[in-house]
A and B are shown apart, each in its own frame.
Chain A
Amino acid sequence: MFVSFQKAKTTLVAVLLFLAVTLAFNVFGKDKSEQQLRVDFLNVGQGDSILLSKGHFQMLIDGGPSGKKVLAEIGKVMPYFDRKIEIVVVTHYDKDHLSGLIEVARNYEIGSIIESGNFSETELARTLREIQVNQSIEKIELYRGDTIRYQDALFTIINPDQKSPLLKASPSDNNDDSLVIHLNWWQSSFLFSADIDDKKEKELLRKNLPLKADVLKVAHHGSKYSTSEDFLKRVAPRVGVIQVGKNSYGHPASETLARLSDLGVRVARNDENGRITFTCQKSQKECKMIMER
């Protein structure tokens, strides 16, 4: 039980060195470049959660089914000293999209919440509304044709249509009214199609909307009722990301996987590949895909 002064000094130097290295990693290691766009399809189990980062700006689309999971994922991705998510998007009020956002709102500062004007009286929706009011978070309702511009990134709302008769009428089944967002940044493009089904896809195909994207978030966890062949042909993605975990619904459906494979779309799945990250540079035509496993 004898610790010499020399030993203590060595320990202190080792500790300081460790702290210096980790600080350097935290400050310089994690990307904070405004020149790069990063899109993380978070591994939250059976649900959707996507974090878009550009420098200190973050947009979180949905929060997945569990606060614990989404917080653990965000903690690994966001820089240590950044505790603000500028925009949170609630595509619709299903538990597997909304649940995790409650804990996100309790643990991170949120700039604004974007919704589609969909109305829900579930316990979760009420809780989120309470948090939003208590923390004075700005709430924005967006519809087809609306756009958000952050520096050189353009987000276009593809769905829902404000005139949709379903909107505010059927709170129980709001998949078709979920927010579909198209992102365009220099040569890169993404389509986040939430939980829409093939009927809605047909409607979107009829309208002249910007659907073409390099990366498609495959709708409704790869359900067989979504991601029709025509829709896929129009979007023409290079990669299709399926946000799926252990489930009893048979997601992703073999039919959907076959459609993707037939059109030569590379599939990345959260249940098999963990977190899926795309890093995009202004000068590069294709984003680099990194899979956790």
Chain B
Amino acid sequence: MAEIQKAINFSLMSFIAGLALASFAKISIAAYLFLCVLMLLASFLAFFRTKFAAVFFVLVFFLFGSITFEFAKQKSYRFVSIWRNHPLEFEGTVGLVEPAKDGFKRVVLKEKGMGRVVVFLGDTVDIKSGQILKVACKKLEVGKDEAGQNRLAREGIWATCYYPHFSVIKNEVGFSPRFLIDKAKGSFERSLSASFPQPVESLIAGILLGGSNRMTNELSDVFSRTGLTHIVAVSGYNVTLVANFCLIFFIVIGFNRGKSFWFSVVVIFLFIFMVGAPASAIRAGIMGAMVLWASKVGRMANSLRSLAICATAMLTENPFLLRYDLGFSLSFLSTAGIVLTYPLLKKTFSRGRGINIFTEVIFLTFSAGLLTYPLLLTVFGRLPLLAIPINVVVAPVIPVAMFGGLLTGLTGLVNASLAKVVAWPVYSLLQLLISVLEAVSKIPWVNLEISAFSPVYATMYYAVILFLIYWLKNNIDKVGVNSFWSNFPFIAKNNKRAKKNFLVNEIVN
């Protein structure tokens, strides 16, 4: 059984590795032929030594991974070449409508049989998904380069329309699920903005509905400098962390772990529904729910395989995610960080006595950040130094804000004046939070700039961290927590036996 599990692990990893290689480097035909030769060789040798059968499967999955990406790229080329010669005037059905930066709305238009186009319209125009628009663009661009094209292709978008003129040619939007979600979201958002004054409204709408684009640039900068952008961004990091904060919150207010799990899952689904159920939020939600499940059944350490299966399935469906979707990578890394490190930290520091709520939040934030910060550092060249302590302080505020915001939004649908009263405690809390964060973000060193952090450093960091985790886990499993840490008297200062051993060694030496 263990052999089969190992084979599955290796196959999944090699699929992801193959896809990663094809995403980041161009694989030549000769390299593919060489891979086929290796496969043939392995299959031949498998008749003599069964180990080579495993090698064969690893190579097959590696090939599958790369080919999956190549096929997706070919499809992208096909659509991009069609859109390159596409007329500048066309009709399309409105899909996702999101707030964008600098006073714009990002509208995804779908033309029948031609895929999607993204159009930026002024944020004062009233556009609903399901409407049919006639758009005349001054310029249609299919991505500045291949990376730009692929970044759009991960959303099935093939072109961007610039300087558009539009007219609504069909208003009845019908009763599609998207229409219902948008209608619910729109009414809820209006209710929120009628109850909460700014800038609190932009924060609470960000937490409940996703996206930092409602915030002013100044406030959004405050959140990024303090390492809190994730609480308003739709990413797995957000969902995983928020779901776990909710879990802890429900446990603290008196529910058992089982019930708290189900409540937190409901929170995740509500969140996905409220943000308009875009693919990114669904993916993040699946990963977040997986960590919760692992935490519930107490098999956190073994859920790495489930995470790999999840990631493989998502990458098969959309191979562009690995390289071109930062949200996906952050979801994956934060989930992997929690799955790998959190149980280890808990085991090490609890010594079977259980740990208090603050330590739990610290461990959770630390393990979610452990693998994500190097990626963030590589991409943005900045490291929010106080992110972990700030997150620990903010952690209890998030579920309270979510609950209060939800209650206010729903009350506002019935009575606006009552909603103002309901909103007031959360408003005060978030106003205080914003003021404190604004003050903290003014500290010059709070957001350290390390522009020289290259992908090579990140790779080295990941290699060292993974090795350390592997080594720690194996050694602790072999000898037990207490005897393992007794070798490190300074770390295990509360361990009487360790202290004794240390003193004995000192005397002997």
Known contacts A72-B198, A74-B198, A127-B125; A81 and B252 CB within 8 A of each other: no
Contacts of A127 in B (CB 8 A): 124-125
Contacts of B124 in A (CB 8 A): 67, 99, 102-103, 123-124, 127
Q: Complex Cα distance A215/B431, Å?
A: 31
**Distance in Å: Cβ of A76 to nearest Cβ of chain B:** 8
Assess the A66–B420 pair: CB atoms within 8 A: no
Instruction: Say which residue of A22, A68, A78, A107 sits within 8 Å of B194 (CB atoms).
Output: A107
Q: Complex Cα distance A25/B433, Å?
A: 16
A58-84 contacts to B (CB < 8 Å) = 65-69, 71-76, 78, 80-81, 83
Assess the A68–B354 pair: CB atoms within 8 A: no
Closest to A16 in B: B425
Is A26 at the interface (CB under 8 A from chain B)?
yes
Contacts of B214 in A (CB 8 A): 68
**Distance in Å: Cβ of B110 to nearest Cβ of chain A:** 24
Q: Complex Cα distance A18/B431, Å?
A: 12
Assess the A107–B356 pair: CB atoms within 8 A: no
Assess the A66–B125 pair: CB atoms within 8 A: no
Assess the A83–B425 pair: CB atoms within 8 A: no
Contacts of A73 in B (CB 8 A): 198
A1-56 contacts to B (CB < 8 Å) = 1-3, 18-19, 22-23, 26
Contacts of B420 in A (CB 8 A): 80-81, 83
Assess the A107–B199 pair: CB atoms within 8 A: no
Instruction: Say which residue of B125, B216, B355, B356 sits within 8 Å of A72 (CB atoms).
Output: B216
Contacts of B215 in A (CB 8 A): 68
B190-215: contact bitstring with A at CB < 8 Å (1 yes, 0 no)?
A: 00011001111110000000000011
Is B376 at the interface (CB under 8 A from chain A)?
no
Contacts of B98 in A (CB 8 A): none
Closest to A109 in B: B194
Assess the B125–A2 pair: CB atoms within 8 A: no
Assess the B252–A3 pair: CB atoms within 8 A: yes
Is B360 at the interface (CB under 8 A from chain A)?
yes
Contacts of B354 in A (CB 8 A): 1-2
**Distance in Å: Cβ of A100 to nearest Cβ of chain B:** 9
**Distance in Å: Cβ of A282 to nearest Cβ of chain B:** 29
Known contacts A1-B356, A1-B360, A19-B425; A69 and B197 CB within 8 A of each other: no
Is B103 at the interface (CB under 8 A from chain A)?
yes
Assess the B425–A68 pair: CB atoms within 8 A: no
Instruction: Say which residue of A2, A19, A67, A69 sits within 8 Å of B123 (CB atoms).
Output: A67
B121-133: contact bitstring with A at CB < 8 Å (1 yes, 0 no)?
A: 0111100000000
Is B136 at the interface (CB under 8 A from chain A)?
no
Closest to A25 in B: B428
B interface majority secondary structure: helix
Is B90 at the interface (CB under 8 A from chain A)?
no
Contacts of A71 in B (CB 8 A): 197-199, 201
B422-441: contact bitstring with A at CB < 8 Å (1 yes, 0 no)?
A: 00110111011000000000
Closest to B257 in A: A1
Closest to A44 in B: B216
Q: Complex Cα distance A26/B193, Å?
A: 19
Assess the B198–A75 pair: CB atoms within 8 A: yes
Assess the A67–B427 pair: CB atoms within 8 A: no
Chain A interface residue count, CB cutoff 8 Å, equals: 31
Known contacts A68-B214, A68-B216; A80 and B360 CB within 8 A of each other: no
Closest to A67 in B: B123
**Distance in Å: Cβ of B248 to nearest Cβ of chain A:** 8
- Most central of A65, A73, A107, A124 by chain B CB within 10 Å: A107
Q: Complex Cα distance A103/B252, Å?
A: 40
Chain B interface residue count, CB cutoff 8 Å, equals: 32
Assess the A22–B428 pair: CB atoms within 8 A: yes
Q: Complex Cα distance A94/B128, Å?
A: 27
Instruction: Say which residue of A2, A83, A99 sits within 8 Å of B103 (CB atoms).
Output: A99
Is B357 at the interface (CB under 8 A from chain A)?
yes
Is B46 at the interface (CB under 8 A from chain A)?
no
Q: Complex Cα distance A71/B122, Å?
A: 17
Assess the A74–B103 pair: CB atoms within 8 A: no
A164-184: contact bitstring with B at CB < 8 Å (1 yes, 0 no)?
A: 000000000000000000000
Is B173 at the interface (CB under 8 A from chain A)?
no
Instruction: Say which residue of B200, B357, B428 sits within 8 Å of A23 (CB atoms).
Output: B428
Known contacts A68-B216, A80-B197; A18 and B103 CB within 8 A of each other: no
Closest to B400 in A: A15
Q: Complex Cα distance A81/B420, Å?
A: 7
Known contacts A1-B251, A68-B214, A68-B215; A123 and B122 CB within 8 A of each other: yes
Contacts of B201 in A (CB 8 A): 71, 75
Known contacts A26-B428, A123-B125; A78 and B356 CB within 8 A of each other: no
A267-287: contact bitstring with B at CB < 8 Å (1 yes, 0 no)?
A: 000000000000000000000
Assess the B103–A67 pair: CB atoms within 8 A: yes
**Distance in Å: Cβ of A94 to nearest Cβ of chain B:** 15
Contacts of B123 in A (CB 8 A): 67, 103
- Most central of A18, A80, A123, A127 by chain B CB within 10 Å: A80
Knowing that A1-B252, A67-B103, A72-B199 are A-B contacts, what are 5 other residue pairs whose CB atoms are under 8 Å apart, sorted by A's residue number?
A2-B354, A72-B216, A74-B198, A75-B199, A103-B123
- B residues whose Cβ falls under 8 Å from a Cβ of A: 103, 122-125, 193-194, 197-202, 214-216, 219, 251-252, 354-357, 360, 420, 424-425, 427-429, 431-432
- A residues whose Cβ falls under 8 Å from a Cβ of B: 1-3, 18-19, 22-23, 26, 65-69, 71-76, 78, 80-81, 83, 99, 102-103, 106-107, 123-124, 127
What are 21 of the A-B contact pairs (CB < 8 Å)? Answer: A1-B252, A1-B354, A1-B360, A22-B431, A22-B432, A26-B424, A66-B103, A67-B123, A67-B124, A68-B216, A71-B197, A75-B198, A75-B199, A76-B198, A76-B199, A80-B424, A83-B197, A99-B124, A103-B123, A107-B194, A127-B125
What 9 A-B pairs are tightest by C-beta distance, nearest first?
A75-B197, A22-B428, A75-B198, A71-B198, A72-B198, A72-B199, A102-B124, A68-B216, A127-B124
